[in-house]
Amino acid sequence: MNVAALKGDSNRATSPAFEVLRRWSRTSFFYPFEGIETVAKVNPGEFIRQVRAEGSKVVWPSMKETRTTAIMVLIMTAMLAIFFFGVDSAFSAIVKFLLGLLG
């Protein structure tokens, strides 16, 4: 890797490793507004038209897909609740046993 390029000299390296290093050195945490472009301002009527046009492109799930997904979420939630109840009960029993040994 070109050391001069890392120091910021005029003959910058173009290797992929240098590009990664350059990107990591200027993260969005330290430069929050870098790369943000200004957006064209439109009137409210045009904005509503754009929102409707984008909304019409969305593929909405059918009622059957929604119902199936909701049932799967409920089943997985119940299974996880039972699992964590069992793990919590086991740890509780272990702690009670260990505290019983002390006194």
More confident residue, 17 or 44: 44
The pair of structure tokens assigned to 52 is 């409707």
Does residue 21 fall inside a structural domain? Answer: yes
Tell me the pLDDT tens digit for each residue of 60-80: 999 999 999 999 999 999 999
Does residue 23 fall inside a structural domain? Answer: yes
- Please count the structural domains in the chain: 1
Does residue 10 fall inside a structural domain? Answer: yes
Q: Are 51 and 36 in contact (CB under 8 A)?
A: no
Does residue 28 fall inside a structural domain? Answer: yes
Mean pLDDT score, 35-49: 83
The pair of structure tokens assigned to 101 is 């040994």
Does residue 103 fall inside a structural domain? Answer: no
Does residue 9 fall inside a structural domain? Answer: yes
pLDDT of 8 strictly over 80: no
Mean pLDDT of the chain: 82
pLDDT of 43 strictly over 60: yes
User: Which residues span the domain enclosing 31?
Assistant: 1-35
